[in-house]
Amino acid sequence: MGPPKNAARTISQEAFDEVVKENMEDLGMDPTEALEDAIQTLTLQGVDLSGIVTCVPGEGSVKDNPVLQCLDRLSQLNSSPNSQIGDEVVDLLDKLTELCKAEGSGNAAIASRNGGVEIVCSICSKIEIGCERAVFLALRALASLLHDLQSREAFRASGGPKILVGILTDGFENIDIVSSGFSVVAAAATSNEVIKELFMELKIDELILRVLSVKREVSIESLYDAIRVLLTPDDNRVLASQVYGYARNFAKIGIAGALVESVRAGLSSSSLVSASIALKAVAVNDEICTSIAENGGIDAVLLCIDDSSEQGNKTVAKVCCSLLCKLAGSDTNKNAIVEKKGMDRLMKLSSRFFDDPSILQEIMAVISVLSLRSPDNAAIAIEAGAGELALQAMQKFPAAQQMQRNSCLMIRNLVSRNAANRTILLNSGIEKHIRMAKQNHVSCKEAATDALRDLGLDDYNM
């Protein structure tokens, strides 16, 4: 693992304050001007000022910053002999969280730069099992602090993963602790391969399955977010992520099946979107996709698609189409989806949301996968109206690059092994719109060229 690429230069609080002081003493600037110049000059030099307390000299000092005051007092209480987690610590943790969550304040960076993660991790390690409110607030504060590589590394160096898994295990019966705990898992594991590995070594997957199995009646959105993050290869410092193996292990112990149950709850569940995204993250190979179908996953997703159409829920429509597209990667699942009238249900969805190209492009992606290497499915798609969908959508949304590209990819799969479909689509006038997409959007050039070629046009490369 190497250092992050293009890492920004940093500066200490003392060095920053010295720059401001020099502007005043050597250049004769007034305090406000000296501060503004220091910020502007250092920013232009590529210095990362996040976590730096910027205050006008004479109007306040670094020590007056409420975040630092909060941390100083927490540190005092935490380091005192025979320290106990009393009401003052609880209030300070609550205050720290609110300060760090203040949008645009930069307070989370100030806190983590000044030892906030280490202090809260230490407090977490000392809280007794019965102090449930203190545990909840400490975890909430920790989640608000973990926002970048440095804060996550501080969490790792402080033994955060082991402390957190211990708290989740001991506080399993408390929903607030479980919810806030998995928020920390998601925040800590984001873009950090080492922390993902540490959580897996600590059997976080077994804990996730336990929560999914025992607490089915409760919707814990942070749990699904944690699954997604743990299975996302988002650390650009590593060449080969291990998350593919983690996903296979998740499926092996039963998490995929448990997630199907979460999706089966449908639109009545506030966590449907998060659960669907989590299930998609687990579905990394043909075997897992097939097992999801065997557990009723395809039926559950198609039902959610139907309901999203009836209820006008665009977010669910997009997410469930994306999940269905992933499941359709299995040839066995393709046939099952088609047999369950999947093409007709997708076309109904396209009619309901024809005003939204972001949904249409997801529908096209599903049809494209269903038609890949399957002339029979391609014929069924055309009968259901996929050709008209491509034509009308490309006409109506010429500027929607991704939709135009997905339409070209869908057209290619509809015609590549089905000569009858070529005739139908060429007669519809689709060629003009494919060429327009190729001309207007660089991202469409290759897909449009392939579509024109598979339509049997000799001048496809023009």
Q: Domain limits of the chain?
A: 356-461
Rama region for 219: left / alpha / beta (φ>0; ψ in -120 to 50; rest): beta
pLDDT attached to residue 3: 47
Distance CA 255, CA 280 (A): 12
HSE (side-chain half, CA atoms, 13 Å) at 24 = 15
Nearest to 205 by CA among 247, 174, 263, 143: 247
Asked whether the beta carbons of 297 and 337 are under 8 A apart, the reply is no
Which class for 432: exposed (0-12), middle (13-18), buried (19 or more C-beta within 10 A)? exposed
* Structure token digits, residue 153: 């590394």
* Structure token digits, residue 103: 């949008």
Asked whether the beta carbons of 265 and 242 are under 8 A apart, the reply is no
pLDDT attached to residue 321: 98
Distance CA 32, CA 1 (A): 43
Asked whether the beta carbons of 370 and 342 are under 8 A apart, the reply is yes
Whole-prediction pTM: 0.90
Residue by residue, pLDDT tens for the chain (462 residues) are 554 444 568 888 888 888 888 888 888 888 888 888 888 888 888 888 888 888 887 777 788 899 999 999 999 999 877 666 788 999 999 999 999 999 888 999 999 999 999 999 999 999 887 789 999 999 999 999 999 999 999 999 999 999 999 999 999 999 999 999 999 999 999 999 999 999 999 999 999 999 999 977 788 999 999 999 999 999 999 999 999 999 999 999 999 999 999 999 999 999 999 999 999 999 999 999 999 999 999 999 999 999 999 999 999 999 999 999 999 999 999 999 999 999 999 999 999 999 999 999 999 999 999 999 999 999 999 999 999 999 999 999 999 999 999 999 999 999 999 999 999 999 999 999 999 999 999 999 999 999 999 999 988 887
